[in-house]
Amino acid sequence: MIRGYSLMIALTMWIFSFLDAYFTAAEINAGQDAQVDVQNPRVAVVLNLLTAGFGYFYLGERTKGLAIFIGTQIARFAIPRVTGFSGGVVSLILIVVQMVMAADAYRIAHAQVHEALGAEGVAKRTEALKRARLPSYVPIGLSVIVGAGFILLTVVGMAINAARQ
């Protein structure tokens, strides 16, 4: 159990590091290395992936963050005890829920950045991403592949564990 969470944390931080490096370089090339009085979308994503809702606190949406945090904790601890479902199945479902929350946090923070930068700043950033030698779909695609691989390995591990019992 501890190894699984440790692997998830290490994988999340590894994905965050290469995505953040790529997009920070694009922001620096566009002359926008400071985040213009708004939160970094990538930090909000990582917080939601690792803490079940704290990314919303980071973005200033405390009610949403608290509701999701309490809901996920109830699901994590109460559902296996009440229904008899395997804790692994609930954990897998919660990982998928956290991925959806991470996408939502990115959407919110990205909208805040676009609002703060205005049309001219967004155009500069888009142009800097187009001039990059590595297209943005490459690091994003790699992160999706690694995330999907993690879920696949989790499912395979749960199946092997269930077959042994």
For 65-79, give the DSSP string: HHHHHHHHHHHHHHH
Predicted local distance difference test score (pLDDT) of residue 34: 58
Does residue 40 surpass a pLDDT of 70? yes
> Sorting pLDDT into bands at 50, 70 and 90, what band is 100?
confident
Predicted local distance difference test score (pLDDT) of residue 27: 73
In sign, the C-alpha dihedral spanning 145, 150, 153, 154 is negative
Give the mean model confidence (pLDDT) for residues 118-123.
74
Average pLDDT over all residues of the chain: 78
CB 59 within 8 A of CB 109: yes
Does residue 53 surpass a pLDDT of 80? yes
What is d(CA 135, CA 121) in angstroms, rounded to the nearest whole number?
Answer: 20
Pick the more confident residue, 122 or 151: 151
Q: What is the pTM of this model?
A: 0.67
Q: How many domains is the chain built from?
A: 1
The domain of 42 spans 2-164
